[in-house]
Amino acid sequence: MPRQHFSPSRRQPHHLSFRSISTTSRLSSDPSLSFPINPALPDSVKDALAGAVKPDTQIRHQRAVKEFLTWADSKSLLADEVLPATEATLLEYAATFSGRLAGGTVRAKISALKTWHTSHGHAWQGGDLLRKVLTGVERKAPASSHRPERPGVSEGMMNILHSAFSHSNRGLHHASNTGSKVAFLGQMRLGEL
């Protein structure tokens, strides 16, 4: 399938902008990687897309793209090898985090790259093999990326809470006592919340 080339529009919309990615890599200064969104889209669509991304999420996406561009620069990739990135490039990038980061963190980085690709009008090349690599990265996550499981609430703990609140005349204490009992019983039926 022939690749469509889009040139940056003269009017640069401020939303979904990845232009603020600043890094010393040569790729970050490439104009084909810096324009914010597919300029072929009507302004009404661009505005609707802007509402789909929260500002905090946009900042995290920008960081992930900056990190990807820095990695691509270290591999001496060219701009057309980065956007759109082949599945092989995405696989290699995701695999670099194996044993270093939690799987959810790496999935978030890859998701940001997917958003970056689609906002530029490129098809996403990640597929089944990328999902399998991400699963492998998740399984090889370092122990430091996992929190120990919290101990469950015991019946003894509930008895202490009941004793502390049952003699109180305050409505808040009665509500807390009732709410904790409902949560305790719910956990016994539904598992860990």
- Tell me the mean pLDDT per 10 residues along the chain, length 193: 36 36 55 61 80 80 88 87 89 90 89 87 88 89 73 79 79 79 68 47
124 with 45, same domain: the answer is yes
132 with 169, same domain: the answer is no
Quick one: pLDDT at residue 42? 82
126 with 180, same domain: the answer is no
171 with 96, same domain: the answer is no
d(CA 64, CA 83): 14
Residue 50 covered by a domain:
yes
121 with 172, same domain: the answer is no
Quick one: pLDDT at residue 116? 86
Quick one: pLDDT at residue 9? 35
Residue 20 covered by a domain:
no
Q: What is the pLDDT of residues 104-126, one digit of tens each?
A: 889 999 999 998 888 888 889 88
Residue 123 covered by a domain:
yes
Residue 4 covered by a domain:
no
The structural domain count of the chain equals 2
95 with 132, same domain: the answer is yes
59 with 136, same domain: the answer is yes
91 with 137, same domain: the answer is yes
Quick one: pLDDT at residue 43? 83
**Domain with 139 in it:** 40-145
134 with 54, same domain: the answer is yes
Residue 6 covered by a domain:
no
49 with 128, same domain: the answer is yes
Quick one: pLDDT at residue 48? 81
Q: What is the pLDDT of residues 61-83, one digit of tens each?
A: 888 888 998 898 888 888 888 88
